[in-house]
């Protein structure tokens, strides 16, 4: 290799290596202690390696996670371990030879080392749902607000329908207008009704769950009755032919069950750019398109109602599944799971009482409060009773 080629090699190699380190630090919330040790051995100056490895060992013995580790500092305040690693990376770069130092410089927003979305096939992005024994039908999408999480979730909905025509897409993402293959699921009965229809028709189904922490399903609320019930429900989603796409802002907010089951993750950096870790291969992807059909109202949070006293035990009895061992129970009172689930939803849903109203767009019925409703709580369209005529609201007769 000539001297000129060696110089080019040093520049390009430093760019690849330090570009990978930058991506790893940007997604530090998903880092493991093994990865932290590799980073320390590879990028930290030798005189600091022993100190940091001891810090890592103590924190790991206490059961802490890397993103939770805070180092004691001087009067200027505490320093996150992630920030200390960033500082050591900068010192390590300063010790490089001049050509490698030039190559190691990463401009903010640089995407030269990333893949382009269109260069990959749809099967690659759907790996979480088609590789047996790999991901179990789970995908988490996390990132800061306004970085494109919802758009990627909607894009996955479009890909699922294209890959498996007839797929039932269930979601609480607020739609701009109704879509034939998307069923709005803003509470457990609507979700279960969609799952039952998919089971009866022997179709795949995908649940896109936006902002789960707003409905009480997060790691911080893991001991609540609602969160425990949703954890049990999540465990059997693949057994019912379904998939779960979980959209949350903070990686550490993802419930333990979901983070343990999901071996594929997407970390949004900015709109159109994300780090995708699909079945063990982490890469930065740019040029992520907006969904072409699945249009939603940006800036509006998706709501999902789960009563704290929802009868999850009755649900699992209806499905005849033991949520701990995931094995069918010996009970043949109903012929299929779809029929059993449909019957459960029928008994669960209260009858429409006098004074209720029905949306003319999606046929959802509910009890309005304080006069004619401005929007339907299901499809969120304005004037749900019609543009010109609004049905009178009949007061409910008090029970004797």
Where do the domains of the chain lie?
3-104, 115-315, 350-400
pLDDT computed for residue 226 by the predictor: 87
Average pLDDT over residues 379-395: 60
pLDDT score for 170: 95
Q: What is the pTM of this model?
A: 0.64
pLDDT of 249 > 90? The answer is no
Distances (CA, A) of 372 to 304, 366, 380: 23, 12, 14
For residue range 59-70, list pLDDT tens digits in order. Answer: 999 888 888 888
Is the per-residue pLDDT at 201 higher than 70?
yes
Tell me the average pLDDT of the chain: 79
The per-residue pLDDT for 371 is: 63
Per-residue pLDDT at 70:
85
Higher pLDDT, 393 or 328: 328
Q: Confidence class of residue 188 from pLDDT cuts 50, 70 and 90?
A: very high
Is the CA virtual torsion 109, 114, 120, 124 positive or negative? Answer: negative
Report pLDDT digits (tens) over 113-159: 578 898 888 988 998 888 654 445 899 999 888 889 999 999 999 99
115-315 CATH: 3.40.50.300
pLDDT band at 379 (very low <50, low <70, confident <90, very high): confident
Instruction: Give the pLDDT of residue 325.
Output: 47
Q: What is the pLDDT of residues 212-243, one digit of tens each?
A: 988 888 888 878 888 899 999 998 998 888 99
Which tens digits make up the pLDDT trace of 58-110?
A: 999 988 888 888 877 655 667 788 888 888 888 877 766 665 555 445 444 44
Tell me, what DSSP letter sits at residue 282? E
Q: Which two tokens stand for residue 74?
A: 């001087």
- Least confident segment among 54-58, 73-77, 180-184, 358-362: 73-77
The confidence band for 354, taking pLDDT boundaries of 50, 70 and 90, is very low
Q: Report the pLDDT value the prediction gives residue 257, as an integer from 0 to 100.
A: 84
Partners of residue 321 on adjacent β-strands: 328
**What band does 194 get if pLDDT is binned at 50, 70 and 90?**
very high
Closest C-alpha among 375, 339, 344, 348 to residue 359: 375
Task: Categorize the per-residue pLDDT at 397 as very low, low, confident or very high, splitting at 50, 70 and 90.
Answer: very low
Residue 110 has a pLDDT of 46
Rounded (5°) CA angle 217-220-226:
35
- Which pLDDT tens digit goes with each residue over 282-303? 788 888 999 999 999 887 778 8
For the segment 17-39, what is each residue's pLDDT rounded down to a tens digit?
777 777 778 777 767 888 889 88
Tokens of 349: 């849903």
Alpha helix (H) residue ranges in 312-356? 312-319, 337-348
**CA angle, 92 then 94 then 100, to 5°:** 90
What is the phi/psi pair of residue 168, to 5°? Answer: -85, 110
The β-bridge relationship of strands 205-210 and 79-80 is unpaired
pLDDT given at position 159: 95
400 vs 309, which has greater pLDDT? 309
Q: Which two tokens stand for residue 350?
A: 């209260």
**How does residue 400 score in pLDDT terms, banded at 50, 70 and 90?**
very low
Kindly indicate the confidence band of residue 3, based on its pLDDT and cuts at 50, 70 and 90.
low
């Amino acid at each position: 290799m000539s001297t000129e080629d060696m110089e080019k090699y040093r520049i390009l190699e430093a760019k690849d290596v330090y570009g990978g380190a930058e991506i790893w630090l940007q997604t530090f919330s998903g880092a493991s202690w093994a990865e932290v040790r590799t980073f320390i051995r590879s990028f930290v100056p030798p005189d600091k390696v022993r100190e940091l490895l001891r810090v890592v060992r103590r924190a790991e013995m206490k059961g802490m996670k890397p993103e939770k580790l805070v180092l004691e500092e001087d009067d200027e305040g505490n320093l996150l371990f992630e920030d200390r690693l960033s500082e050591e990376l900068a010192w390590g770069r300063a010790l490089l030879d001049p050509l490698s130092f030039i190559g190691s410089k990463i401009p903010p927003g640089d995407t030269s080392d990333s893949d382009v979305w269109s260069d990959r096939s749809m099967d690659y992005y759907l790996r979480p749902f088609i590789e047996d024994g790999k991901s179990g039908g789970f995908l988490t999408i996390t990132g800061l607000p306004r970085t494109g999480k919802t758009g990627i979730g909607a894009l996955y909905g479009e890909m699922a329908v294209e890959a498996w025509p007839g797929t039932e897409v269930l979601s609480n993402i607020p739609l701009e207008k109704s879509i034939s293959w998307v069923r709005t699921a803003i509470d457990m009965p609507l979700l279960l009704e969609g799952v039952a229809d998919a089971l009866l028709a022997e179709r795949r189904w995908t649940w896109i769950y936006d902002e789960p922490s707003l409905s009480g399903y997060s790691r911080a609320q893991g001991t609540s009755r609602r969160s425990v019930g949703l954890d049990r429900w999540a465990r059997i989603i693949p057994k019912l032919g379904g998939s779960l796409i979980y959209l949350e802002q903070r990686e550490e907010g993802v419930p333990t069950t979901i983070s343990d089951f999901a071996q594929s993750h997407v970390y949004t950096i900015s709109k159109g750019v994300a780090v995708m870790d699909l079945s063990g291969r982490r890469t930065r992807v740019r040029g992520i398109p907006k969904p072409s059909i699945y249009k939603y109202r940006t800036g509006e949070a998706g709501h999902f109602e789960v009563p704290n006293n929802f009868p999850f035990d009755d649900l699992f009895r209806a499905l005849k599944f033991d949520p701990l061992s995931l094995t069918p129970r010996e009970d043949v009172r109903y012929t299929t799971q779809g029929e059993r689930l449909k019957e459960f939803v029928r008994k669960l849903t209260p009858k429409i009482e006098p004074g209720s109203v029905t949306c003319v767009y999606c046929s959802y019925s509910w009890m309005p409060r304080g006069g004619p409703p401005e929007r339907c709580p299901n499809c969120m369209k304005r004037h749900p009773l019609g543009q010109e005529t609004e049905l009178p609201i009949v007061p409910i007769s008090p029970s004797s």
